[in-house]
Amino acid sequence: MFDIEVLDTTLRDGAQGEGIVFSVRDKIAVTETLDELGVSWIEAGNPGSNPKDLEFFRLASSLKLTNAKLCAFGSTRRKGVKASDDSRLGSLLDAGTQGIAVFGKSWDFHVSEVLKVPLQENLDMISETVAFLKSEGRIVLFDAEHFFNGFSANPEYALSTVTAALEAGADRIVLCDTNGGTFPHAASAAVQAVALEVKKIKPDAVIGIHAHNDCGVAIANTIAAVREGCNHVQGTLVGFGERCGNTALAALIPSLELKMGRRCLPEGNLVRIGEMTRRIAEIANVNISDDMPYIGAHAFSHKAGMHTDGVLKTERSFEHINPADVGNERHLLMSEVGGRSALVNRVKKIEPAVHKDHPAIITLAEKLKNLEAEGLAYEGADASLEILIRKELGKYTPKFNLEGYRVMSEHPAKGTLACSHAWVKVLVDGQHEIAADEGVGPVGALDGALRRALTRFYPSLEKMRLEDYKVRVIDGKEATSAKVRVLIESTDGSRSWNTVGVSADIIEASCTALADSIEFMLINGEGRE
């Protein structure tokens, strides 16, 4: 379908990155995101290794995927066991995926010292495993573990593992730089040798590469392999994975498409690669480095005078591609012009008459700078930004005043009472209302009480609910008195909006974000003022 098959292993090798933990729901969300971007394969876990992956595959079988095929991952059969009797291979089949990736040893040293079986037995394990899975009608990807080390130590044996897999019917031969110590020239030479075997034995098999970034050359190794005829590339969109991570697909795919003319994604999807990568980073709760190639916030930032000057004369003078091709933007750092233009653009949605030198724009730009220095981040909280803009333009009448609240958490809980209780008092049009609620945690209780108090005045709030709640500690080193930033996503069933709150008190930060969220719904639900 495409020139290059992309296999994303965020859910398998990515989950082996330190600090990466996915819930089953996270895994579903990652799968949907990768399918939306349009990768060919999603390697989603090892059903034999843990109950979460098993549960995932059960749920995933009912997902409707448009672009991607799912792939389960596991090892070749156990030593001394028939493939059809090996329960781990049984789990792989039970996962019910179209593809199955099995890894086998290609480095003689690993066969003797880690697996501890004779070299021939390892070849039998590969060949019987692949043949068994093929007989069950699956697309089989053979991951030749440590292939590049093996090829350098004992090329003949390394190639014989590939031959064994090909003769048993493997559809993909994936050369893995498991330890990440290989350089591009060595990767090229190894792929050349494998390409000859493939041509001889099973010309329709596809060669793949799975690189790790321990020398900082995972992307270069992958590009070198593609130049030698490899048509299947593996990695993780963000780049995280075991140790220094896998090939960062978001930094690789634009090079393959834009510079090597090799199609990897459905037409028109390359511009969404940054958005999808950030979505996965959010789910994994990691940051995308600002200087990440192509999609990073700084990837097209020009700071040196000579550079901004050159770019203003002719863009390609200091840009290797057009940032718009990957959905990114140019930033000229020497001028404040870029920043204020974006703000004017946003303010115009509320007040079409503003211009760049309008006093409200100048004050707002200053205020935003100060608030962001305090830890507020409006780029993910457009609804809070709108409230701030309205206040500055004098286009804001508060829908309610939160006079005060009390939140109590008590452990152990008593009888049928929940652990957390909240009490709030609001003022709307001169009338007070007091309400209370309980919850599992203090923020849930506060949210409930606030909504109860206001629903008397604004029945439309019945429809509103919270969709997402995120907490980030801004300065961890202050320990429990560190500031936290709370981001909340709310919905009324048809649209969603985001608000933010910052405080050294997590309850207060949450309350600010909750109150902004309710204000936003009320302002917009009753028409613009």
Applying the rule CB under 8 A, the residues between 395 and 414 that interact with its own copies are 404-412
- Does 525 contact its own copies by CB under 8 A? no
Closer of 353 and 373 to its own copies (Cβ) = 373
- Does 362 contact its own copies by CB under 8 A? no
State the first-to-last Cα distance of the chain, in angstroms, to the nearest integer.
Answer: 51
> 3-class DSSP state for residue 360?
helix
Instruction: Report the nearest approach of its own copies to the CB of residue 360 (Å).
Output: 20
- Does 465 contact its own copies by CB under 8 A? yes
Nearest to 414, CA basis, from 438, 442, 447: 438
Per-residue contact string for residues 267-286; x = within reach of its own copies by CB under 8 A: ------------------x-
Q: Which of 65, 93, 193, 215 binds its own copies (CB under 8 A)?
A: 215
Distance CA 226, CA 185 (A): 12
Instruction: Report the nearest approach of its own copies to the CB of residue 19 (Å).
Output: 7
Closer of 24 and 81 to its own copies (Cβ) = 24
Parallel/antiparallel/unpaired status of strands 484-491 and 465-473: antiparallel
Q: What six digits make up the tokens of 80?
A: 């001394």
Q: Which of 65, 472, 524, 525 binds its own copies (CB under 8 A)?
A: 472
Q: What six digits make up the tokens of 119?
A: 């070299």
> Could you count the other beta carbons within 10 Å of the beta carbon of residue 63?
12
Half-sphere exposure at residue 9, Cβ-oriented, CA atoms within 13 angstroms: 29
- Does 321 contact its own copies by CB under 8 A? yes
Instruction: Report the nearest approach of its own copies to the CB of residue 218 (Å).
Output: 8
Distance CA 84, CA 297 (A): 51
- Does 381 contact its own copies by CB under 8 A? no
Residues 103-162 that bind its own copies (CB under 8 A): 109-110, 113-114
Q: Give the DSSP H/E element, type plus range, for residue 193.
A: helix 184-201
- Does 23 contact its own copies by CB under 8 A? yes
- Does 30 contact its own copies by CB under 8 A? no
Contact 317, 302 (CB under 8 A): no
DSSP assignment of 290-323 equals: TT-TTTSTTTTEE-SHHHHHHHHH-GGGS-SS-G
- Does 383 contact its own copies by CB under 8 A? no
Instruction: Report the nearest approach of its own copies to the CB of residue 177 (Å).
Output: 9
Instruction: Report the nearest approach of its own copies to the CB of residue 228 (Å).
Output: 11
Closer of 285 and 363 to its own copies (Cβ) = 285
Nearest to 180, CA basis, from 373, 16, 423, 363: 16
Parallel/antiparallel/unpaired status of strands 431-439 and 172-176: unpaired
Range in contact with its own copies (rule: CB under 8 A) among 123-131, 195-203, 252-260, 349-357: 252-260
Q: Which of 52, 58, 272, 367 binds its own copies (CB under 8 A)?
A: 52
- Does 184 contact its own copies by CB under 8 A? yes
- Does 475 contact its own copies by CB under 8 A? yes
Distance CA 126, CA 328 (A): 44
Closer of 129 and 255 to its own copies (Cβ) = 255
Closer of 13 and 197 to its own copies (Cβ) = 13
Instruction: Report the nearest approach of its own copies to the CB of residue 165 (Å).
Output: 19
Nearest to 194, CA basis, from 146, 162, 154, 165: 162
Range in contact with its own copies (rule: CB under 8 A) among 78-86, 132-140, 192-200, 436-444: 436-444
Q: Which of 2, 57, 300, 520 binds its own copies (CB under 8 A)?
A: 300
> 3-class DSSP state for residue 43?
strand
- Does 91 contact its own copies by CB under 8 A? no
Instruction: Report the nearest approach of its own copies to the CB of residue 96 (Å).
Output: 21
Parallel/antiparallel/unpaired status of strands 206-210 and 496-503: unpaired
Instruction: Report the nearest approach of its own copies to the CB of residue 119 (Å).
Output: 16
Range in contact with its own copies (rule: CB under 8 A) among 87-95, 129-137, 243-251, 267-275: 243-251
Residues 223-242 that bind its own copies (CB under 8 A): 223-224, 227, 239-240, 242
Closer of 424 and 522 to its own copies (Cβ) = 424
Distance CA 285, CA 344 (A): 31
Instruction: Report the nearest approach of its own copies to the CB of residue 315 (Å).
Output: 11
Nearest to 318, CA basis, from 336, 306, 329: 306
Contact 68, 40 (CB under 8 A): yes
- Does 430 contact its own copies by CB under 8 A? no
Q: What six digits make up the tokens of 129?
A: 């495993």
Q: Where are the alpha helices (DSSP H) in 48-118?
A: 51-60, 87-94, 108-110
Parallel/antiparallel/unpaired status of strands 69-75 and 41-43: parallel
- Helices 382-393 and 359-373, interaxial angle, to 10°? 140
Contact 79, 117 (CB under 8 A): yes
Closer of 344 and 504 to its own copies (Cβ) = 504
Distance CA 268, CA 266 (A): 6
- Does 296 contact its own copies by CB under 8 A? yes
- Does 17 contact its own copies by CB under 8 A? yes
Distance CA 356, CA 341 (A): 7
- Does 257 contact its own copies by CB under 8 A? no
Q: Which of 63, 85, 440, 456 binds its own copies (CB under 8 A)?
A: 440
Instruction: Report the nearest approach of its own copies to the CB of residue 469 (Å).
Output: 5
- Does 456 contact its own copies by CB under 8 A? no
Q: Which of 80, 137, 203, 314 binds its own copies (CB under 8 A)?
A: 314
Q: Which of 336, 348, 391, 456 binds its own copies (CB under 8 A)?
A: 336
